[in-house]
Every structure is written in C-alpha cells, then in structure tokens.
Amino acid sequence: FNLIFQTHIFEMASLISLYQNGSPFDTSNPKRVIRDTAVEFMATSVFIYFGTLSAGSTGAVILDGVNETNVAKLLPIAIAFGITITVLVYAIGHITGGHMNPGVSLLMFLRREMSFKKMLCYWLAQFTGAMLGSAIVLGSTTKYFNQREFNLGATTLDVNTTPLNGFLLELMGSFFFYFVIAQTALDKKGIATSSIPPLAIGWSLVITHICLIPFTGCGVNPARTFGPSMINCMSGRCSS
C-alpha cells in the first residue's frame, strides 16, 4: 500500500512540475528540428524494416535450385561474422582503422579522412586478402567443397529472390551497416572516442546477416562477396 501511495505522490509531483515549468522550448532552431525529425524518420524506417524482415527471414528455407537449408542453422554464421569483425576492429583499429571492407574505405575517402591513393591500396589489400582467406578455406575443407551446398560460403540469390529484390535488400543492409559505422566510429560528437563502436558495428553486422542470408547470402562487404566467388571460379565452379 505504501509503495502505491508513494507512486501516486510522485506522479502528482511530476504533473505539478510540468504545469509550473512548462515544456522545454526546443523548437527555437528550425534547422535542428528538421534534422532531428528527419533522423527519427530514417531510424524508425530502418528499425521497422529489419525488425519485420527478420520475421520472414528466420522462418524461411533457403533454396539454391538444388538443395534446401533450414535458415535456423545460419544463426551461428551471423554471430560469427559479427563477433569476428568486432574483435578484429579492436585488434587492428589503432593501426589501420579496421576497415576490412572496400565500402568502409570508400566512406572514409568521401569523408576526406583517407587519400584516394591510400584507398586504392586498401582496396587491393582487401580484395586479395578475401581471395586468400577463401583459398585457405578451400584448402581446409576439400571434402566439404565437393558438397554443392557449401560452395565456400559464396553469396547467392535464393530462387524466390529476384535481382531487383536482391539489390534492394543489399542496399538496405549496406546503408544500415555503413550508417552505424559513420555514427559510432566517425562522428566525434557521438561515441567515436570511446571503445564502444566495434560492439555496435559487430551487432549491426549480425542483424544484417540474420535478415539477408536467406535471400542474398548477405554481401554488404564487396570483398566478402568477391573472395569466395573468385576462388569458386578458379576452382571450376563458376556456374554454382
């Protein structure tokens, strides 16, 4: 009874304070109001997109024209990508910035935080590094590679996903991923100076993989798509 009574007293005190002080005058800067409203609109759209998309993706069955795979088995893949990027950013972020993604390097170039020549050097390292990583996977899993459904983890469209569907899915996934990077790791007014950004980046990658894997295999990172695809082709599996 005492707890309920105290709660009512607190609510009444809050209402009285609001009546006496009024609401904050936070519309004095129209440009900031427009900016904040636009950001809220965008963030809500992205939130609803990925939240509702996951309802369909987590109940899907992946079809590549030959095999069927229950998407529930792919949750560890999403977690593996997210955790791997997190720990690597922590490991090399102070050295290179921890890009490991040509899109991130392009983002840094567009923000004038990287020269064009250095971006090209990073691109070369990222694409060739992706090929080497996939080649090592091939060497480590020769027998699994003979099973068509493995395919070195290459990204591919589900048979029920059109190229236009795939483009829109990858566009939204890339936008979400790069937006999180820009607002957490690069925005000096945010948490860029703390050690938290790699966690947000890793979790955003988990979300995009959970939502996109059943439809496109989840590229988001051009090097991630390029590496397995090239090694597949060099191994005589271009058509898979």
Express the helix, strand and coil content of the chain in percent, nearest 5 each.
70, 0, 25
CA distance 123 to 115: 12
Per cent of the chain over pLDDT 90 is: 32
Measured from the Cβ of residue 196, the count of other Cβ atoms closer than 10 Å reads: 13
φ and ψ at residue 69, rounded to 5 degrees:
-135, 125
Please give the pLDDT value at position 224: 92
Residue 37 Cα distances to 27, 42, 69, angstroms: 11, 9, 42
Mean pLDDT of 39-49: 76
Global confidence as pTM: 0.78
CA distance 205 to 180: 10
Name the band, by pLDDT with cuts 50, 70 and 90, for residue 24: low
Name the band, by pLDDT with cuts 50, 70 and 90, for residue 151: confident
Tell me the per-residue pLDDT of 163-185, one tens digit each, with 9 for 90 and over. Answer: 999 999 999 999 999 999 998 88
